[in-house]
Amino acid sequence: MVNSLKQDWFSNIRGDLLSGIVVALALIPEAIAFSIIAGVDPKIGLYASFCIAVIISFVGGRPGMISAATGAMALLMVTLVKEHGLQYLLAATLLTGVFQIAAGYLKLGSLMRFVSRSVVTGFVNALAILIFMAQLPELTNVTWHVYAMTATGLGIIYLFPYVPKVGKLIPSPLVCIISMTAVAMFLNLDIRTVGDMGELPDTLPIFLWPDVPFNLETLMIILPYSAGLAVVGLLESMMTATIVDDLTDTTSDRNRECKGQGIANIGSGLLGGMAGCAMIGQSVINIKSGGRGRLSTFTAGVFLLVMVLVLDEWLVQIPMAALVAVMIMVSIGTFSWTSIRDLKNHPLSTNIVMVVTVVVVVATHNLAFGVLAGVLLASLFFANKVGHYMAVTSELDETTNTRRYTVTGQVFFSSSEKFTASFDFKEAVDNVVIDLSRAHFWDITAVGALDKAVIKFRREGADVEVIGLNEASATIVDRFGVHDKPEAVGQLMGH
C-alpha cells in the first residue's frame, strides 16, 4: 500500500509538477471554449475541470491521465441547456456519474478487449484531426503576427529540448507559453488572448444541489442525456487510457477508472460544474512534458484554480497563438503516422476499419459513433473470417452403406449456411453419422442448421446419429435443438 502510494504520487515529483502546470495552462482556454459550446457560463467549464482533475487524481485507475471538461461531452449538452437550463444540466451530470459508477461495478471497463487495434488507431487519428481542426478558427482572418507567433511557438516546442542541460529539465510547451506571452506583452501586440475567450470566475466553487423538482418528469428529461454522456465519457476515457498505457508501457485499472469518472462527475455536478471525462490531448501533453503520476493530474487541477483566482491578470495576457502551437504539437504527436505507412502492409479489412472510424468521427464530431462503427465493422469482418474456417469432409462405408460426415471448425451464424450446404441430402444411404468431435456450436443459428440437416436426412429415409459433441456444444444443442424431440419437423417449420 505504502509502496503503491509512493509510486503513484511521489516517484516523479519534479516532472509531475512541471507537466501539471503546462496542462493547467492549456486547460483554461479549452474549458472556456467547451463551456461556450455547451451554452453555459465559462466558469461552469473551469469549475468542472478543477473538480474532475482533482478528484480523479485520487480515485482514478490510470495515473498520469488528465480528465476535465471536454468537447465531446459539451456537444451532447447543447440541447438540454437550451431547452431546460443549467440546473437540469447539473442534475444530468449527477446521474451521469451514477451510471458510470454502476458501469465500474458491473466491470464494463473490461469490454475494451473487444475494441480492436485498428479501431484504437482510427480513434487516435480522428482525434488528432479534430484537435487540429479546432485550432483553425484561431488561424483564420488574423494578422501575420498570429502566424509568426504560432510558427515561433512550434519552433520553441520542438527545438528547446535540444538546448544543453536545461532543454530536458523544463517542458518545452511551458517555455513556449511563457516566452510568447512575454513577447506579446512587450511588443503590445493586438492579438487574441485567453482573456478574449470569456470572463474568468473570481470565487471558489461552492456546494450546489441542483434546483430541479425530483420527480419522474425530471428523470425522463435528463435520462437520455445522462446515458449518452456516460457512454461517451467512458468510451473516451477507456480509449485515452489505452493510449497512455502504450505511451508509458504501464497498465491501468479500467473498472476503477469507470468508478473514478463517475465519482468525479458527481463531485463536479455538486460544485456547479458540467460533466467531463479523460482528455487525450491534455493527457498526451502531460506525458510528453514528463508527467507520469497522480501528482501531475492533481497539480493540473489545483494550479488551474489558483491561476484563475490569483494570477488572472497575467493569465488573460496569454496569446491564443501560443496555446494553438501547443495543441498543434499535440495533434502531430497524437496522429499515428505509421498507420499511413502500414496501409500497404496491413490486411484490407484492418485498413477499412481504421479509415471508417476516422471518417465517422471527423464527420460527426462524435467519438462514440466512430468507435461504435469501427467495432461493428471489425466484428463483421472477424465473423466472416472465422466463418471460413469451417469444413466438412465425408467418407462412405459401402459395406454398411453409411456416410460419415466429419465437421471441423466453428459453427455459428456466419458459417451455418456453409455447414448445411456441405451435406448431400439426395444421396441414397441407409445411415448417416455426423461427427462433431472437432467442431464447436456457438449459437441457436448453428443449432438450427444441425436440426435442418438431421431432419432432411431422416426425410430421405436415412438413420442419423450425431456424435462427438463437446460439453458446451451439447448443452446448447440439448436446450435449443428439436431434431430428437417429438414433432421435430413441425417445430422446425414453425421457426
**3-state SS string for 162-198:** HCCCHHHCCCHHHHHHHHHHHHHHHHCCCCCEHHHHC
pLDDT of residue 89: 92
Q: Are residues 141 and 226 in the same domain?
A: yes
Q: Is the pLDDT of residue 423 over 70?
A: yes
Q: Is the pLDDT of residue 486 over 80?
A: no
Q: Could you tell me which residues come within 8 angstroms of residue 331 by beta carbon, excluding any fewer than 6 positions away?
A: 128, 129, 131, 132, 135, 281
Band of pLDDT at residue 495, cut at 50, 70 and 90: very low
Q: Are residues 169 and 268 in the same domain?
A: yes
Residue 182 lies in a domain: yes
Q: Are residues 269 and 401 in the same domain?
A: no
Question: Which of these three, 307, 338, 369, is where a domain ends?
Answer: 338
What's the chain's Rg over C-alpha atoms? 29
pLDDT in tens, 73-124: 887 888 888 888 889 999 999 999 999 999 999 888 777 777 788 888 888 8
pLDDT of residue 326: 81
Residue 166 lies in a domain: yes
Question: Which of these three, 303, 322, 338, is where a domain ends?
Answer: 338
Q: Are residues 285 and 397 in the same domain?
A: no
Tell me which range, 131-140, 181-190, 363-372, is most confidently predicted by mean pLDDT: 181-190
Greater confidence (478 vs 97) lies with: 97
> Which residue range forms the structural domain that includes residue 472?
390-493
CATH number of the domain residue 406 falls in: 3.30.750.24
Q: Are residues 306 and 404 in the same domain?
A: no
- CA–CA separation, 38 vs 135, rounded Å? 18
With helix as H, strand as E and coil as C, how does the chain read?
Answer: CHHHHHHHHCCCHHHHHHHHHHHHHHHHHHHHHHHHHHCCCHHHHHHHHHHHHHHHHHHCCCCCCCEECCHHHHHHHHHHHHHHCHHHHHHHHHHHHHHHHHHHHCCHHHHHHHCCHHHHHHHHHHHHHHHHHHHHHHHCCCCHHHHHHHHHHHHHHHHHHHCCCHHHCCCHHHHHHHHHHHHHHHHCCCCCEHHHHCCCCCCCCCCCCCCCCCCHHHHHHHHHHHHHHHHHHHHHHHHHHHHHHHHHCCCCCHHHHHHHHHHHHHHHHHCCCCCCEECHHHHHHHHHCCCCCHHHHHHHHHHHHHHHHCCHHHHCCCEHHHHHHHHHHHHHHHCCHHHHHHHHCCCHHHHHHHHHHHHHHHHHCCHHHHHHHHHHHHHHHHHHHHHCCEEEEEEEECCCCEEEEEEEEEECCCCHHHHHHCCCCCCCCCEEEEEEEEEEECCHHHHHHHHHHHHHHHHCCCEEEEECCCHHHHHHHHHHCCCCCCCHHHHHHCC
Residue 372 lies in a domain: no
Residue 36 lies in a domain: yes
Q: Are residues 452 and 325 in the same domain?
A: no
Q: Are residues 313 and 401 in the same domain?
A: no
Q: What is the mean pLDDT of the chain?
A: 85
Q: Are residues 26 and 124 in the same domain?
A: yes
pTM for this predicted structure: 0.72
Residue 47 lies in a domain: yes
Q: Are residues 262 and 160 in the same domain?
A: yes
- CA–CA separation, 63 vs 245, rounded Å? 10
Residue 436 lies in a domain: yes
Residue 383 lies in a domain: no
As a residue count, the chain comes to 495
Residue 345 lies in a domain: no
Band of pLDDT at residue 1, cut at 50, 70 and 90: low
Number of domains in the chain: 2
Q: Are residues 74 and 199 in the same domain?
A: yes
Question: Which of these three, 319, 338, 357, is where a domain ends?
Answer: 338
pLDDT of residue 478: 86
pLDDT of residue 288: 84
Q: Are residues 319 and 401 in the same domain?
A: no
- CA–CA separation, 16 vs 293, rounded Å? 6
Q: Are residues 427 and 313 in the same domain?
A: no
Q: Please give the torsion angle defined by the CA atoms of residues 202, 203, 204 and 210, in that order, rounded to the nearest 10 degrees.
A: -110
The residue-averaged pLDDT of 389-410 equals: 89
